[in-house]
Structure formats: structure tokens, C-alpha cells
Amino acid sequence: MTTDELPFWDAVDRLRERDPRYRREAYGFVTAALGWTVESLPAERRRDPVRRHLNGAELLQGLAGLARQEFGSMAGTVFREWGVHSGEDVGRIVFELVECHQLSQRAEDRIEDFRGFDLAAALAGEPAGGRARPGISEGGASRKPGPGPV
């Protein structure tokens, strides 16, 4: 069975065999946050597959919002426990999931789209937190059918 035919959690386990820096739960939460963020888009954008594709900043903001909702003041602690310390860590998880065909990407999607995001501040709900770096592309990742919320 190739990695693009593997169920989500089997693909994650294979990724982690190669590079165990992120906990298994981090992968599930990123995909859950992707779905949650898409569902929060206006209905007209959700109906259009081109427009519902998230850029890195949108995914990061959605991920931080869901983390605050799910974990409250412990969100930062949870993410540190999972090995996720920065927006770039989230981007690495996204692109690993793209590599094993669990998420899709567009040609303009780049890991750089996830750099410069203050994840700790965003998880803490600080007003200045989570500002994405200027010039972020319309990138991100589209959700492939996979697991539900973690």
C-alpha cells in the first residue's frame, strides 16, 4: 500500500517514524483546524472550491482559534507538549501531510507562508498575537476527506 492509499493515522505514523519531532495529536489537530476554519468561512466562499482553499495565515488564525476554544488557557502548553512552537512548525506538518497525500496544495503554496506568525501570542489570545508576515501568498492546504476532530 502506498502512502497515498493509507488511512490518515497510518500515514501519520509513517511520517513520525521518519521524523518524530511532532506528536501524533498535532497532525490530527491541524486537519481538524483546517476543517473547522473552512466551515467558518462565508457560505458563498465554502461553495467555491477555488475560494475555499485557505492560505497559511487563515489556517494559522483558525488553528489558534480552535485551540483556544478546545484548550483554553492551556493551548500554548498543549502545543509545546506536541512539539509545535511556531507557525513554521504548523507549516511543516501541513506540507508533510501534503507529501503523503492526506492534504492537497496549490502551486503557489509555500512553507514561507507559515513563517513570521507569533503562534504563542495567538494561542494566548493576545490582540497583537498571530500577525502573519506581510506578503503572504494565497496558499495553505485544502482538506482531503480524513479524520474528524481529534
- pLDDT (tens digit, 9 = 90+) per residue, 11-32? 999 999 999 999 999 999 999 9
Give the pLDDT confidence score for residue 129 in this predicted structure: 56
The rounded distance, in Å, linking the Cα atoms of 1 and 39 is 32
Confidence of residue 126 (pLDDT cuts 50, 70, 90): confident
| Three-state DSSP state, 104 | strand
Domain boundaries, the chain: 6-143
Query: Which residues is 143 bridged to in the sheet?
Result: 103
**Residue located via cell numbers 521518519:** 18
Q: Output the pTM of the full model.
A: 0.82
What is the rounded average pLDDT for all residues in the chain?
85
Give the pLDDT confidence score for residue 150 in this predicted structure: 34
Question: Could you tell me which residues come within 8 angstroms of residue 111 by beta carbon, excluding any fewer than 6 positions away?
Answer: 88, 91, 92, 95
The model's pLDDT over 28-56, given as tens digits with 9 standing for 90+, comes to: 999 999 999 999 999 999 999 888 889 99
| Three-state DSSP state, 103 | strand
